[in-house]
Amino acid sequence: MFKALFSRKDKPIEFEVVIEQEDYYLSIKAINNGKRLAFITCVIEDDNRIMIGDIRHAQSKYFNHSIGSAMMKKLIEYAENNDYRELYGNLSVVDSDHKNRLHHFYNKFGFEIIEYPETKDLYYGEIRRKI
């Protein structure tokens, strides 16, 4: 069980992180009392790699309170325990408004950030992490 504190006046909210797999789709969810606070969607590409598709929070108040970090730790643990060799994903131009925060998040977990010289298919770069 994890806890997130939303302000000094708020009581910490407890949440659990679960992984659900259906075929080649992997979903990492942060849940509080049956309510989804945030999730990471992934695709298992092959026996070696998992592609991170999207990280979403149910409400903006859940940003920057360790929920995304708890989910990413769970994903990395899952990849290590199941013998995957790489996590990777694309950096979308729709996230350009919070690029610094995004780069900080991925750097914290050991991802290599590769920015393209020019935008490719709505992506400005990619992330990669060897397991």
Give the 3-state secondary structure of residue 35.
Answer: strand
Residue 107 confidence (pLDDT)? 97
Q: Is the pLDDT of residue 93 over 60?
A: yes
pLDDT digits over 101-125, tens only?
Answer: 899 999 999 999 999 999 999 999 9
pLDDT digits (tens, 9 = 90+) for 16-70: 999 999 999 999 999 988 999 999 999 999 889 999 998 887 766 556 668 899 9
Q: What is the pLDDT of residue 64?
A: 61
| pTM passes above 0.95 | no
Report domain extents, the chain: 2-130
Question: How far, in Å, CA of 93 to CA of 122, rounded?
Answer: 6
Q: Which residues pair with 127 in a beta bridge?
A: 89, 113
The span from the CA of 49 to the CA of 42, in Å, is 10
Quick one: 2-130 is in which CATH superfamily?
Gcn5-related N-acetyltransferase (GNAT) (3.40.630.30)
pLDDT at res. 3: 53
**What was the pLDDT predicted at 14?**
83
Tell me the backbone φ, ψ of residue 82, rounded to 5 degrees. Answer: -115, 20
